[in-house]
Amino acid sequence: MTKQQTRRNRPDFTDPLAQTVLNSLSAHIAILDHQGVIVETNRAWRKFAGRGEMTGDVSSVGVNYLKLCDATTGPEADDAAVVAQGIRSVIAGKEEEFLYDYPCHAPDGKHWYYLRTIRMNGVEPVHVVVSHEEITALKLTEEALRRNENELMEQKQSLEEANIALKVLLTQRENDKVELEQKVLSNVRELVFPYVEKLMNARLKPRERTLVEITHAHLNDVISPLLQRLKSAQMILTPQEIQVAALVKEGRSSKEIADILTVSVTTVNFHRKNLRKKFGLSNTRQNLRAYLMSLS
């Protein structure tokens, strides 16, 4: 390349159009030569520097940006070192561009910036454009979203724990309910039914026998889990079919059921036949009592 071509490829930062374009951008822009020296800045850069963030001429022209980064100490030293290394990689042609976001907090509050470094095409010697765009609003939004996400996770965990505790309580309640039902059933069968059945087998007047039968039937209604299952299955059974089903489930024979209910064996067999039909037990080898016990 001739000296004349090199001169033609040198950037002309005094060009009014180039100055207008640079100054119209909101990002803080500095143009660096191949050694990292600032050769031009835009209005946004100078305005930022004028607020006191940088020392010396607010234009920063002539300042070696890379050396400034290398000399940075304190909490910003790590970020400055990463930026300097990234800019050097772009100048050397190892990377097409370098992107980096970093905090730059000030007395007026927290601030974050997004740095982008790219080479200027067709310019010799090498020049790079370094832009700093403020992304504080985006970062604050990200922080708010992160906090909300953490809060939602905590609420989710709390709800899951409450749900587990509720399931344990419901399980315990169900166990207590079953245990109570079993106790009631056992006590009634062992302490009440034997005496009721003795009364039913005794010589009673018609009115007294009716009262005993009603008592027996109502006790079956109260204690029989089978009855509740039949109702939940929306099976339509007559009161006497319910009595027969409960006694069949207990293992009573047709004759014993007939004596307890004071009906004929034929009547009991009729009810047993209707029960099999309503339960869909068309196969004669299917045992009615076994089926009733499976419902408990």
Provide the pLDDT for residue 37.
94
Taking the C-alpha atoms of residue 31 and residue 101, their distance in angstroms, rounded to an integer, is 19
Is residue 214 a part of any domain in this protein? yes
Mean pLDDT highest for which of 29-38, 54-63, 182-191, 208-217? 29-38
DSSP string, 259-289: HHHT--HHHHHHHHHHHHHHTT--STTS-HH
Question: What pLDDT sits at residue 70?
Answer: 93
User: Smallest Cα–Cα separation from 215: which of 230, 198, 234?
Assistant: 198
CB 61 within 8 A of CB 38: yes
Q: Residue 186 pLDDT > 70, yes or no? A: no
Residue 38 pLDDT: 93
Is residue 228 over pLDDT 50?
yes
On whether residue 149 sits in a domain, the answer given is: no
pTM, whole model, 2 decimals?
Answer: 0.48
Burial class (CB in 10 A: 0-12, 13-18, 19+), 192: middle
| 64 has a pLDDT exceeding 90 | yes
CA distance 64 to 45: 15
Q: Does 107 lie in the same domain as 70?
A: yes
CATH of residue 107: 3.30.450.20
Which residues partner with 132 through β-bridges? 28, 115
Same domain, 165 and 117: no
Question: 8 and 95 share a domain?
Answer: yes
Any domain includes 150: no
What is the span of the domain harbouring residue 129?
A: 3-137
pLDDT at 215: 83
pLDDT of residue 63: 92
